[in-house]
Amino acid sequence: MRSWLAIVFLLLSVGGSSAAIDAVNVYEPRKFGHFLGDTLERRVEVITSGNTELFTAALPRPGALTYWLDLVSIDLSEREENGRKIYDITLKYQIFYSALEAKQLDIPSFPLRFKNPNSVAPNGEAPSEPSDASQGGNYSATVPALRLVISPLRDIVLDDLMPEKTGDISDVMRPDAVPQEINVVPRERLLLASASALAGAGLLLLWHYAIWPFARRPKRPFTQADRQIRSLQSGGAGEAPYRDSLLILHRAFDQSAGRRIFAADVPEFVAQHQRFSTLLPRLKSFFESSQLYFFSDDRRAAEDRFPISDLARLAADLAREERSAA
């Protein structure tokens, strides 16, 4: 049971003053018998009246206060009763002082600040607070330091509970907890499975797009033709790129059908490869121009009717249809 300690900053307003700090009540825990790791709570109750308000932003913040003491938390609640404002402040501390013998230490004091403390400072000031309020009409109060007696833990343990132990630290301390081993085998398996699935999917993708090492995939003649024609166009090599492109595409048709495809075979070819049916007019036009190019004297007309850009586009479309057919 924590002791009730009323350190009353009795701030009685004089006469008809309308605003004042009426009281600051500090409820302290016991002052002795604290050990390393203990937590303790102090409660501070501040009562104001009129338009005087506690300046809550000035309250201490959780964190390390000294090397041996942390403020773990600070809770503030506010209520009104009979025209007065009552602030309840709960401060929770934790002690990190490893005492070798009983020792007195002080929880440091901290000030409370107020808004509109426009009352005249009372004569009976708080004993611990020689306030400077008298100068500026500003009044503040201080939560005083708390002196604690902190007891050593080791001797008690050693002497009373574990008499068989020596004073050696390794003997006294509990052995370190064995870390729980996390079983990674299922995850490794999962990783392996997903990695192989990824590799498989990657290979399938390469296969689908006929990229190395499947670049020479026999069932992707148009993909290869498309690539060759593009490299022909970009490279600009060869004395007759149009002728070479025509030949490349013809060979792709031949390979796709498994025999030589002539212009007259186009409808049959398309009937067998339904995917290309949307390209039929362009296929016909390609074969007609190719006939003109190779078998008549009029090469110029062939190139005008079906320019190399159309040819490259047709090859790309054929390659795309070929992929989506698979």
Partner 1 sequence: MPSPTVQQPQADEQTGPLELDDWCRCALDFEREIAKAVIGQNRAIRLLTIAVFARGHVLLEGDVGVGKTTLLRAVARALGGAYERIQGTIDRMPSQIIYNTYHNQEGKPRVAPGPVLRHGSDLSVFFFNEINRARPQVHSLLLRLMAERSVTAFNQEHQFPHLLVFADRNRIEREETFELPAAARDRFLMEVEISAPSDEKSRRELLFATRFHDVDKLIASLKDGVLDYRRLNTLANVIQNTIIVSPALERYVLDLWKAIREPASAGIQIANVDVNRMIAGGSSPRGMSYLIRAARVAAWLSGRDMVVPEDIRDIFHECMAHRIFLTPVYELRREEIVRSLIADVFAKVPAP
Return residues touching partner 1 (CB under 8 A).
Answer: 247, 250-251, 254, 258-260, 262-265, 291-292, 294-297
Query: Is 25 or 291 the residue whose CB approaches partner 1 more closely?
Result: 291
Query: Is 98 or 296 the residue whose CB approaches partner 1 more closely?
Result: 296
Q: Cβ 206 to partner 1, closest distance in Å?
A: 29
Q: Cβ 247 to partner 1, closest distance in Å?
A: 7
Task: Please state, in angstroms and rounded to a whole number, the distance separating the CA atoms of residues 99 and 158.
Answer: 14
Query: Is 71 or 263 the residue whose CB approaches partner 1 more closely?
Result: 263
**What does each C-alpha distance from 213 to 216, 217, 227 come to in angstroms?**
8, 9, 15
Q: Cβ 259 to partner 1, closest distance in Å?
A: 4
Q: Which residues pair with 86 in a beta bridge?
A: 47, 79
Query: Is 78 or 304 the residue whose CB approaches partner 1 more closely?
Result: 304
Query: Is 18 or 272 the residue whose CB approaches partner 1 more closely?
Result: 272
Query: Is 69 or 261 the residue whose CB approaches partner 1 more closely?
Result: 261
- What's the one-letter identity of residue 212? W
Q: Cβ 243 to partner 1, closest distance in Å?
A: 9
Cβ proximity of 28 and 2 under 8 Å: yes
Q: Cβ 296 to partner 1, closest distance in Å?
A: 4
* Omega prior to 127 cis, within 30 of 0: no
- What's the one-letter identity of residue 315? A
Q: Cβ 298 to partner 1, closest distance in Å?
A: 9
What's the burial of 249, exposed, middle or buried (CB within 10 Å: 0-12/13-18/19+)? buried
Q: Cβ 264 to partner 1, closest distance in Å?
A: 4
Query: Is 138 or 291 the residue whose CB approaches partner 1 more closely?
Result: 291
What is the torsional sign of CA 269, 273, 278, 279?
Answer: negative
